[in-house]
Amino acid sequence: MKFSFVMSLVCFVVLLVAVVVLYVILSGLGVFDAISDTVNSLTKQQGDTTGGVDAGSWFSFARVFGYTVLVGALNVLLITALSTVGSVIYNLAADLVGGVEVTLKEAE
């Protein structure tokens, strides 16, 4: 349980770093601005200069990072719980079946 918890925490940190790096790259390339402009132009009324859906708020750093933290924390809980249950099931099956015994012999 301890090992799976530590490994899931490491994966959580890797996820956070990956999302921050991808967000910085995509924001620098202007992808979020292009998506926001496209959504705004598609949702505003014909001949209207303002209005439409504000898609820029969908891609704010706080919102993206917040959802990443939420999903990452949920993953930490689920990975820890599922690996604990999996190890218990494996140990029960190994006790029932007897497992596999490997004997190594030195070559002469």
CA 16/CA 6 separation, integer angstroms:
15
How far is Cα 73 from Cα 93, in angstroms, rounded to an integer? 30
Decide if 108 is inside a domain.
no
Q: Which residue has the higher pLDDT, 81 or 102?
A: 81
Provide the domain count of the chain.
1
101 located within any domain = no
Evaluate if pTM is beyond 0.85: no
Nearest-CA neighbor of 15 among 92, 96, 71, 77? 71
- Asked whether the beta carbons of 29 and 59 are under 8 A apart, the reply is no
- Whether 87 is in a domain gets the answer yes
Q: Residue 46: its pLDDT value, please? A: 72
d(CA 80, CA 86): 10
- Domain membership flag for residue 105: no
Tens of pLDDT, residues 83-104: 999 999 988 988 888 777 778 8
What residue numbers bound the domain in which 1 lies?
1-44+55-96
pLDDT digits (tens, 9 = 90+) for 20-76: 999 999 999 999 889 888 888 888 777 666 666 777 788 889 999 999 999 999 999
Instruction: Find the helix or strand (DSSP H, E) in which 98 lies.
Output: none
